Structure 1
Amino acid sequence: MEIRKNLRIGLAASRSHLQSPDGILARLLNDAKTAITQHLQPELIAIGGTYDAIRAHGLLEAYGHLHRFPNGREGGLMKLVSRTADPDPARALDAIIYLVDPTDQSSVFPEAVALKRQAIIHGKPFLSTLAGAREWLELEAFEMGAVGDTTLDETFFLEKENVALIAHDAKKQEMLMLVERHFAVLDRFGQRFATGTTGGLLNELARKIKGEDAGRNWVKPFLSGPMGGDAQIAELVLDRQCRRILFLEDPHVARQHEADIQLLERAARTVSEYASCVSEASCIERWCRLLEKRILKISS
């Protein structure tokens, strides 16, 4: 999915992330202020408590494209779900930033789960960590002509970074095609991790591209997801040994290992300032393309 200029973003945050003037919400809007106000200039649709916190903490002062939806208890998140799925471009949201505290029980309410599911179904970014939202705004602003935030440069030295590549059964071939198209940028990472079958398939692909010896251990495979592979990668995330997770989810099937999937997402949200998770193919495609442009800026 190509993101248009002057995009429309749904914005929400767990209560603990918006109460403090130096909390997760404030850190995102302060750190990304230039990207938001000067380059992207998006329409921000914030649910009640999030909107009120922005005003109370003096964030994005004089920014004229901030609008209020009802509080969550009054249907604010439900309205974001509807706008995520809305086919009318004059109403539809282009992306969701929902900064989730993993200990906040409201993050597993039906409307919160549906918000992510509809974002995946309709090919729209769903950003639930500080690091993920910050990087997404940075890459989109860079695409619009921003020079790049030098404070983030260290995270774009991919040779020192690791990435996890995970795909549900119905998405494994899609993951293989995606990796083949963006092999050059993914090959720059220091290490790549995957669960079970996906790891074996990716190593087969790498051997075809790089040769038998060079591609043999291109990905370090862990156990399959249902057998604990998601938990193994979650530990790497918690130990800050894997910053980025590319997780092709199939939103249309019931999954017996749903708890394992949630555990991996929970790990990323636990280290919100460090880790990110992208869960939809077109979003990963765009991320790879913009990431490649951003790292060229560092090496030039």
Structure 2
Amino acid sequence: MAKGKHLALIAHDRKKDALSMWVKAHEAALTGHTISCTATTGGVIEKNSPGLKVVKTKSGPLGGDQQIGALIAEGEIDLLVFFTDPLSPHPHDVDVKALTRLATVYDIPMACSKATADLIIASGFLD
């Protein structure tokens, strides 16, 4: 297999299980790619999909979102999947906005919901 893509997978607390279920459903498509996650999200994904190699940054409120943002700015990330929870307040909302802004500035495909993430998988983007 050719070198895989580098994916960033992040989820707000109430969306971690949904992201983990999405990863499990698409585990075959995600295998062979580098996956970077914030710490808590990465732990949930590792638990439910132990066959995937997950690189964890710090948790989001402790700077993990900014670490992922730095990877985007360095051209290291090919896809951002960030399952957001628009119905809950987030004390580090500024970091979240900065992360999504960087994905837009650097023209990185970004999915903030299962429907969009499914479309990206179906598009063949990871092939």
Q: Match of 1:270, as an amino acid?
A: V
What secondary structure sits across from 1:231 in the alignment?
A: helix
Q: Distance in 1 between matches of 2:83 and 2:2?
A: 21
Choose the corresponding residue for 2:20, options 149, 152, 176. Answer: 176
Q: Is 1:227 the equivalent of 2:70?
A: no
- 2:120: which partner in 1? 287
Structure 2 matches for 1:1-300, cutoff 5 A? 159-189=3-33, 191-207=34-50, 210=51, 215=52, 218-272=53-107, 275-291=108-124, 295=127
- CA deviation string 1:155-210 (max 9, x = no partner): xx873320001011000110111000000111131x10000111011112232xx3
Alignment match, 1:298: none
C-alpha separation in 2, matches of 1:159 and 1:179:
20
| Letter of the 2:70 counterpart | E
Q: How many residues were matched structurally?
A: 127
Are the structure 2 counterparts of residues 240 and 253 from structure 1 closer, same or farther at C-alpha, using a change threshold of 3 Å? same
Structure of larger gyration radius:
1
Whose relative contact order is higher, 1 or 2, with alpha carbons under 8 Å and at least 6 apart?
A: 2
Kindly state the Cα deviation for residue 277 of structure 1 after the two structures are TM-superposed: 1.3
Q: Answer yes or no: is the 8 Å Cα contact 2:36–2:42 preserved in 1.
A: yes
Identity %: 28
Give a deviation string over 1:240-262, Cα, whole Å, max 9, x none: 01121000001111211110101
Give me the CA root mean square deviation: 1.8
- Structure 2: how far apart are the matches of 1:158 and 1:197? 30
**8 Å CA contact retained: 1:158, 1:188:** no
| Aligned-partner SS, 1:175 | helix
Separation in structure 1 between the aligned mates of residue 26 and residue 96 of structure 2, nearest angstrom: 25
In 2, Cα distance between the equivalents of 1:254 and 1:206?
Answer: 28
| C-alpha distance in structure 2 between counterparts of 1:286 and 1:244, whole Å | 13
**Cα-to-partner distance string for 1:89-145 (whole Å, 9 max, x where unaligned):** xxxxxxxxxxxxxxxxxxxxxxxxxxxxxxxxxxxxxxxxxxxxxxxxxxxxxxxxx
Whole-Å separation in 2 of the counterparts to 1:223 and 1:196: 5
Query: What amino acid sits opposite 2:103 in the alignment?
Result: A
Higher helix share: 1
Distance verdict in 2 for CA 1:260–1:158, change over 3 Å: farther
